[in-house]
Amino acid sequence: MKSQVVRERLRAELGAIPKQAPFTVALAYPSPYAAAMSSLGYQRIYRAIQETQGMACERAFLDDAAERDLLAQTRPVTYESLRPIEELPVVAFSVAYELEIGGVVSMLDAAGIPALREDRRIHHPFILAGGPLTFSNPLPLAPFCDAIVMGEGESLVIDVLRVIEATPRKDVLEALARIPHVFVPEIHGSILPEIAKADMALLPAWAPIRTPHAVLKDMFLIETERGCSRACTYCVMRRSTNGGMRVVPMETILGHVPKDAKRVGLVGAAVSDHPRIAQIVSTLADEGREVGLSSLRPDRLNNDLVSALKRAGTRTLTTAMDGPSDRLRDLLERRARIKHLEKCAELARKHGMDRLKLYLMIGLPSETDADIDECVGFVAELSKIVPIALGIAPFCAKRNTPLDGEPFAGIAVVTDRLDRLKRGLRGRAEVRSTSAKWAWVEYVLAQGGEAEGRALADATRAGGTFAAFKAAFDRLEVERPTRHRRALSIART
């Protein structure tokens, strides 16, 4: 059954790069295929390896069923040759966020590869990792990796793989530790190197493979810029990261779009900040293409851009409200103001959008019920202009941000405030939220280190439920740094 699914997915792909080479690695994604093939970063590394002489990769993914139950993971095999990943010399994981580390453990366990690095021997594959998680805190991932590529890795990963290929296994860690931006936990301990910054000549990243089996179905993905020029206090991609925003010229972006691509996804941390974004979308719409954008800022939305988005197939105008009140948006250093959000609602109505969707966080530092009530009143007024949908995420402080170390508000507190918001907006706005319980798990990992990663492994093997995570975190030793003691105790509130 698994091999049949793999063959069907491969037949449906456009743009895959078939290749065989003397040195072939498993390029693994610890979430299912549909998510992986919608990841521009994963596809960029795939392309980098396949374009390198003498080197190739074969892809492997978390089983679809394991997304709901990590214990359902079967022996991982590569899509290209159906080889078990343990037969390849390197397994390289691309990890986007903290909860995906459970997928890493599950795939290694199912492959019969000891998950903990100290339990592996010379005959086991070398376990390499990279991805968006490295911009914040990869320490909980470290127990399972021999080395981690920090930051923008499209060229660095090739250097790392060449060293692994050419160096005797007994000497490879020392060799990798000498490469800037490569974290070798056995040697570096908990001292993280600086994150890598890609050469501008390598931009833009674009995804070679399109498939109807991706979350972003049949969509060609390309970045419009890298990084961000803004200073949002919660975000790891703020302007202090890698020198801020690097803009890709409009002509370069349009020149990469395949002639047969009917759907185009413009990707980046601040897509709507591109100085020519309205022209880019308009040009693609004029060519009859649907266009999706990964990030729209309310202060950047204007008539030209929203008109172009409507012509490009957008039915829901989506942007970020960020905090529930003006006071908290000031804390986050967000430029979104009431006037901007009101204008977004008016533009959505003018251009016949089905609704305006707003993302925001609750459980922010110093937040009170009064902030929630302000949000209820404002959104209720907006709903008189256009239908409103709210997408809510509990605030989770990340490393390498100004709000690093801020406490999690508490599962009960977040749940109560979400209920307050839903009651206030019943019949006036659609309100959906991610789980407060899983936000707490993410928080513990985001603020944690190797001990939290090892506890995650225990939780994964106990079924990967919230109860399993809570029990595993509760078993961590009592004497913890202040931030960890605080994080663990909040689960009980």
CATH number, residue 306: 3.30.750.210
**Domain containing 94 — which CATH number?**
3.40.50.280
- Please give the single-letter amino acid code of residue 490: I
Q: Is residue 348 part of a domain?
A: yes
pLDDT value at 1 more than 70: no
* 196: nearest Cα among 164, 242, 243, 147: 242
232 and 176 within one domain? no
- Whole-number pLDDT of residue 63: 97
Residue 490's pLDDT is 52
Same domain, residue pair 371 and 462 = yes
pLDDT-derived band at 482 (thresholds 50, 70, 90) equals low
**Same domain as 324, residue 293:** no
pLDDT tens digits, one per residue of 433-460: 999 999 999 999 999 999 999 999 999 9
Is residue 47, in this structure, part of any structural domain at all?
yes
Q: Are residues 183 and 229 both part of a single domain?
A: no
In a domain, residue 284? The reply is yes
> Which two tokens mark 211?
């498939």
Q: Is the pLDDT of residue 272 over 70?
A: yes
pLDDT band at 400 (very low <50, low <70, confident <90, very high): very high
CA gap 233, 465 in Å, rounded: 31
Q: Could you tell me if 324 and 252 lie in one domain?
A: no
Whether residue 257 is found in the same domain as residue 277: yes
Q: What is the mean pLDDT of residues 88-115?
A: 98
Tell me: do 41 and 84 sit in the same domain.
Answer: yes
CB 291 within 8 A of CB 309: yes
In a domain, 90, yes or no: yes
- Out of 168, 188, 208, a domain closes at 188
In a domain, 226, yes or no: yes
Residue-wise pLDDT tens digits, 320-358: 999 999 999 999 988 788 999 999 999 999 999 999 999
Number of domains the chain is built from: 3
Per-residue pLDDT reduced to its tens digit, 203-242 = 999 999 999 999 999 999 999 999 998 889 999 888 778 8
Pair (349, 298) in one structural domain: no
201 domain residue, yes or no: no
| Residue type at 214 in one-letter notation | A
- Per the domain annotation, does 170 fall within a domain? yes
Q: Among 58-62, 283-287, 295-299, 417-421, which is the least confidently predicted range?
A: 295-299
**In a shared domain, residues 349 and 493:** yes
What confidence score (pLDDT) does residue 488 get? 56
**pLDDT tens string 127-158:** 999 999 999 999 999 999 999 999 999 999 99
Q: What is the pLDDT of residues 164-186, one digit of tens each?
A: 999 999 999 999 999 999 999 99
Same-domain pairing of 90 and 11: yes
All residues at 6 or more sequence positions from 288 whose CB lies less than 8 Å from its CB, including other chains = 262
For residue 478, pLDDT over 50 is answered with no
d(CA 436, CA 393): 8
Q: Could you tell me the residue range of the domain that residue 66 belongs to?
A: 2-188
**Domain-ending residue, one of 173, 188, 203:** 188
Does residue 450 fall inside a structural domain? yes
Q: How far apart are CA 258 and CA 264, in angstroms?
A: 9
Q: Are 296 and 321 within one domain?
A: no
| Mean local confidence (pLDDT), 401-425 | 96
Does 250 share its domain with 391? Answer: no
